[in-house]
Structure formats: structure tokens, C-alpha cells
Amino acid sequence: MPPTTAEVAVVGGGLAGAGAACVLAKAGHEVMLLEREASATHKICGEFLSTETQGYLRRLGLDLDGLGGHVVSHLRLVRENTIVETALPFNGMGLSRYRLDEALLNHACQCGAQLSRGQRASVADISGSIDLDVQNAGTVRTNTLFLATGKHDLRELRRHPDTPPEDLVGFKMHFDVDSTQRHALANHVELVLFAHGYAGLQRVEDGRVNLCLLAEGSWLKACGGTWEGLLEELLRTCPHLQRRLSNATPLLSQPLTIYRVPYGFVYNPPANSAGNIYRLGDQVGVISSFSGDGMGIALHSGVVAATHYLAGLDAGSYHRRIRHDIASQIWRAGLLYRASRWAPSQRLLMGWTRLMPRSLRLAASLTRIPPSAVTQAMERIP
Ligand SMILES: Cc1cc2nc3c(=O)[nH]c(=O)nc-3n(C[C@H](O)[C@H](O)[C@H](O)COP(=O)(O)OP(=O)(O)OC[C@H]3O[C@@H](n4cnc5c(N)ncnc54)[C@H](O)[C@@H]3O)c2cc1C
């Protein structure tokens, strides 16, 4: 079978890939978007949409307000029986990735991208033009690859983090909670610190509540190595989560899990890197989850890569730009995360934020993409 050709192939239809495809297709370019999932799926995520994430989605033309997300205006930081609350410096939104990613993929198609789904792509040849092997669909030949496979590396194009990922396991589960707890969670995102990790709790659409947590792998083992064991131990030792979830019903047949995320990774292109392979989203940088801005980075990188391509700038120029935009944000988020990791620093953090709750707003601002970079990128969207 002769290869199918595409001017640009985008591998991965998450927010980074679909966002880039919207920009390229709207500008009249031929884009093939390859997504391995055949239909909408749940993804592990706190599902907190920052102001940048929302801004990009609206600027791309998505009817975000029609998706039923829950407005999040306040942050509650919780440790044992201490609770500190403050207004966020912006209104966030709780919206499931199940609903959001599907809506953006559909929007990319409406913009003119050619979507091929249920197709896992791998690299066959990158020595000149790029040949992709696409499950069930033969070879796709392209001059330009946008690599947006999130946490999944293509074998030939692996990320190489400088430091090995920490022994952390992530879980996500949606719950139906009782009306008192649903009411208590209205307009709030809760960040709950516990001895072996932290959890984020917030409402998403249709009154569902998302619990997303990161815990040390050794602690998971001590809890019997299962989600059920870990949840039981968490509810036993954490009065706040006990209150929120003791009468809750899980809404997913099993939790989503992730292991050894390379937090802090920022892609540093080698001197001989290909000028026609643009890395987007988690393939270019991975920020600590608690910052709630990974989706913002994914969309920012998708837009910056696409607008660089439209301006005739190669991947080298794009990778320098994106590093400049996100490296310090990712570093600061890592620092804050490490500071919130250990019991003594957790106690210090709680004491400090009780005295100065507004310092949480400062932390939220420090872990965002610089506003000037966002404004500049948005202005370049055709
Ligand atoms: C525990 C946790 C909590 C988080 N919470 C938040 C939060 O609250 N707010 C926030 O903004 N960010 C959060 N993030 C970060 C955010 O989820 C990611 O940064 C974001 O999803 C990255 O988007 P992406 O498009 O790069 O990747 P993804 O969203 O992972 O999309 C990648 C896509 O590529 C597809 N794919 C993979 N391999 C192939 C292949 N070979 N061929 C074809 N398709 C392929 C996948 O199916 C997927 O659809 C969290 C992350 C974690 C781990």
C-alpha cells in the first residue's frame, strides 16, 4: 500500500496535539491528527483548568462554557485538622478530561484537521522525511511531526529526564458524594496534605467530585499494594477526606493510575536534533501536578509550536522559545512541591499560610506561565 501523505502529522490527540491541530488547520494547512484511543476516555488528572487553560481553549474557539464545568474561585489547603482558605487570583474551572479532550478533538475536526482515531502510531523512519507506522492504516509520510503523546514515549523518540522520576504513584477516581459534602465543595479546590503525599479534591461537571492523589510507592506497598487498601488507610488517617468521602459512591469501575511521572522534566534538544520534530505538552515539559497548570503548558506549547511552524521557524527555534517560557515555572513548582513534602515543612507551610493566607495566591501566581508569554502566543493565533 503506498504511504498516505500529510503536510503535518500530529501524534497524540490530547490538549497539546488537538490545540496545535486547531491552529494549523484554521490557517489552511493539511494536518493529520492521530489518536490511539477510539473514543472518549478518562485520563488521570486533577481536572483543574487554570486561567491560561481556559483562555487558550476560548481563544481556539471552543465553547468552553457550554461544557458544564464547575467554577472554582477558592483554594482550601488542608493538613490534619488545620484548614486555610483563600481566594484564587483567578477563577479556575473543574471539568473532566473525558468531556474536555473529546470536545477539543471534535473542535479540531471542525477547524479542518483530519482525525484518525483508534490508531497507535510509531516511528518507522526519521532519516529524511518522517514515516510513521500507524496501526491498521499503513504508513503515513510527512515532512513535519508534532509529537504530543503526553506521558507515553515513542520508542525512537524517548525523553531523557536528567534525574530519575520519584517513586510516586498517582490515582484518580470520580465520586458521587452526599449533598452536604457537595455543597461544602462548591467553588473550592481542596489540596489535602498527608504524610505520604497529597490529594486534590474538587467538583467537575454534573455534580461529580474528582479525587486525584499522589502517594509514595513504598506507602502504597505498605497499604497492601491496592487502591482499596490505600483509600482505606487514607480515610482512616485523614479526618478531612474521611468526612468528604465516607458516604461517597465511586463512579468509575476502577481508578486511573500512573507511576513514576518525570516531574521537573524540560526538553533540552541535543545539538543534532531534527528541525522538523516539534515536541508538545508533557513531551516538552512536565510540571508538578499540584500547580494545576499542566494543561495550560500543553495548550501553550501547542499554540507556540503551531505559530512557529506557520511563521516558517523550525523546531530548534520553537524549543528554545518554549524552554524560555516554561523552565522557571516548572522549577519553582518543583521547589514548592518539595517544600510541601515532609511533615516538618508541611507544618511550617500550614503555620505560614494561616498567618498569611494570601501567600497561597502568590504561590499560585509563581507556578503559572508568564502572562506576557501567554499574551504574545495568543496574539499569534490566526
Ligand atoms: C496526577 C496528575 C494530576 C494532574 N492534574 C492536573 C490539573 O489538575 N490541571 C492541569 O492543568 N494539569 C494537570 N496535570 C497535568 C496534565 O494532565 C498534563 O500535563 C496534560 O494532560 C498534558 O497534555 P498532553 O496533550 O501533553 O498529553 P495527554 O493529555 O496525555 O495526551 C496525549 C494523547 O496522546 C495519545 N497517544 C499516546 N501515545 C500515542 C501513540 N503512540 N499514537 C497515537 N496517540 C497516542 C494518548 O491517547 C493521549 O490522548 C496532572 C497530571 C497528573 C499526572
Is residue 220 one of the residues assigned to a domain?
Answer: no
256 CA → ligand 1 middle, Å? 12
Is residue 204 one of the residues assigned to a domain?
Answer: no
Distance, in Å, from the CA atom of 328 to the CA atom of 312, rounded to the nearest integer, reads: 27
Q: Tens of pLDDT along 252-269? A: 999 999 998 999 999 999
Q: What pLDDT is recorded for position 173?
A: 98
Residue located nearest, by CA, to atom 27 of ligand 1: 150
- Here the cell at position 197 is 503525599
Is residue 350 one of the residues assigned to a domain?
Answer: no
Distance, in Å, from the CA atom of 145 to the CA atom of 133, rounded to the nearest integer, reads: 13
Q: What pLDDT is recorded for position 64?
A: 98
Is residue 190 one of the residues assigned to a domain?
Answer: no
Is residue 325 one of the residues assigned to a domain?
Answer: yes
83 CA → ligand 1 middle, Å? 30
Q: What pLDDT is recorded for position 135?
A: 85
In sequence order, the 6+-apart residues with CB closer than 8 A to the CB of 99 are 40, 67, 68, 205
Number of domain units in the chain: 1
Distance, in Å, from the CA atom of 357 to the CA atom of 381, rounded to the nearest integer, reads: 37
Q: Which atom of ligand 1 is nearest to the CA of 302?
A: 25
Is residue 183 one of the residues assigned to a domain?
Answer: no
- Here the cell at position 351 is 503555620
Is residue 192 one of the residues assigned to a domain?
Answer: no
Length of the chain: 382
Residue 31 belongs to what domain range? 4-72+94-162+263-339+368-379
351 CA → ligand 1 middle, Å? 34
Is residue 216 one of the residues assigned to a domain?
Answer: no
Q: Which atom of ligand 1 is nearest to the CA of 286?
A: 19
CATH code assigned at 146: 3.50.50.60
45 CA → ligand 1 middle, Å? 8
Q: Scanning the structure block, which residue is given the C-alpha cell 485520563?
A: 43
Any atom of ligand 1 within 6 Å of the Cβ of 47:
yes
| Mutational test site, ligand 1, from 152, 169, 288, max ligand atoms within 8 Å of CB | 152
In sequence order, the 6+-apart residues with CB closer than 8 A to the CB of 372 are none
Any atom of ligand 1 within 6 Å of the Cβ of 374:
no
Q: What is the mean pLDDT of each run of 10 residues along the chain (382 residues)?
A: 92 98 98 97 98 98 98 95 91 98 98 95 91 90 97 92 90 98 98 93 98 96 97 96 96 96 93 91 95 96 98 97 96 87 83 83 86 96 94
Q: What pLDDT is recorded for position 358?
A: 81
Residue type, 336: L
Distance, in Å, from the CA atom of 367 to the CA atom of 363, rounded to the nearest integer, reads: 6
